Amino acid sequence: MNTISPAAPTAAAPERPAASARPTGFVHDTATVFARESRPLVRDPFSVIFSLVQPLVFLGLFGPLLVGASGGDVSGTLQWFVPGILVMVALFGTASTGANLLFEMQTGSHERTLVAPLSRSALLVGRALKEVVPLVIQGTIVVLVAVPFGFRLDVPGLIAGLAVLAVFGIGFGALSYRLALACRNRDWMFWMVHQTLLFPLMILSGMLLPLEDGPEWMQVAAAVNPLSYLVAAERALLAGDFGDPSVIGGVIAAAVTCAIGIVLGVQAMRRAR
């Protein structure tokens, strides 16, 4: 009688190595985060235009008052005032970016990105780079709106001015993310710091009114305000005066703001849980 021999045990299939959870590279990760954060802009491009209401209101209502104060010099007033509006766009646009991160932390979306195989530094830098896109679009629209009313457009100066604002915007946006991470359980604190700092920075930069005739304490405060140097640089660049000494001051102010923002923001992102 033949007996059925037990089947030989089949060799277990070798397990495939798990996909590496290590970051695929800072540049690749930054591009991935940038693409993810830019999708809402692609799906709803009109949101960029709607956010222009505030700077256009300042241009349309505050501008005529300055023209009257200057004796009716429309062109000269616009050459002075429009660069300040561009800095305002960069300031308000990037200062509020931390609110998006607050919303993601409240909904749990941010926690899911933290466990993704992405560099923590890229999570911040990719987000900050995304803010450059609406900044450039909005700044260009503001300038084009002012041209029919007498603003003299210098194209190389506009490109250089937007590049400087982009560097500043990356750093200031990173600082906004740092503030959001620090206030993740107290979102009211984010808005309190946001509103407390923004308007003094704006007024003490000379973007709306000249500070030369103001009290001495205002001039001292303006001297330590990085936005003052940025506004002066934008006025020189948009006029095509690349050799003006204020350009160097504005570039340094933008670069220092960017460096400080990236360093502080990356530190906060790496500690995030």
144 belongs to a structural domain = yes
% of the chain beyond a pLDDT of 90: 32
- The whole-number pLDDT of residue 266 equals 83
- pLDDT tens-digit map of 186-201: 877 888 888 888 889 9
Average pLDDT of the chain, as a whole number: 82
Confidence of residue 67 (pLDDT cuts 50, 70, 90): confident
Average pLDDT score over residue span 97-124: 73
Task: Specify the DSSP element, H or E, that contains 90.
Answer: helix 74-95
Give dist(CA 144, CA 82) in Å, integer: 10
Domain that holds residue 68: 26-271
- The whole-number pLDDT of residue 273 equals 59
Confirm if 143 and 82 have CB atoms less than 8 A apart: yes
- The whole-number pLDDT of residue 46 equals 66
14 belongs to a structural domain = no
- The whole-number pLDDT of residue 111 equals 67
Give dist(CA 168, CA 256) in Å, integer: 8
- The whole-number pLDDT of residue 164 equals 96
Give dist(CA 248, CA 186) in Å, integer: 39
Q: What is the residue type of 273?
A: R
Task: Determine which of 51-55, 150-154, 252-256 has the lowest per-residue pLDDT on average.
Answer: 51-55
Confidence of residue 8 (pLDDT cuts 50, 70, 90): very low
| Whole-structure pTM value | 0.81
Those residues with Cβ within 8 angstroms of residue 22's Cβ, 6 or more apart along the chain or in another chain: 117
Task: Determine which of 35-39, 135-139, 168-172, 177-181 has the lowest per-residue pLDDT on average.
Answer: 35-39
Q: Which of 88, 55, 108, 121 is nearest to 202 (CA)?
A: 88
69 belongs to a structural domain = yes
232 belongs to a structural domain = yes
Confirm if 272 and 114 have CB atoms less than 8 A apart: yes
Confidence of residue 48 (pLDDT cuts 50, 70, 90): low
Sign of the C-alpha dihedral computed for residues 221, 225, 227 and 233 taken in this order: positive
6 belongs to a structural domain = no
- pLDDT tens-digit map of 136-167: 888 999 999 999 988 998 999 999 999 999 99
Give dist(CA 231, CA 247) in Å, integer: 9
134 belongs to a structural domain = yes
- The whole-number pLDDT of residue 210 equals 86
Give dist(CA 44, CA 50) in Å, integer: 11
CB-based burial label for 158 (10 Å; 0-12, 13-18, 19+): buried
Confidence of residue 22 (pLDDT cuts 50, 70, 90): very low
Give the CA angle between residues 138, 225, 236 to the nearest 5°: 55
9 belongs to a structural domain = no
90 belongs to a structural domain = yes
Those residues with Cβ within 8 angstroms of residue 124's Cβ, 6 or more apart along the chain or in another chain: 174, 177, 262, 265, 266, 268, 269
Structural domain count of the chain: 1
Whether residue 179 has pLDDT greater than 70: yes
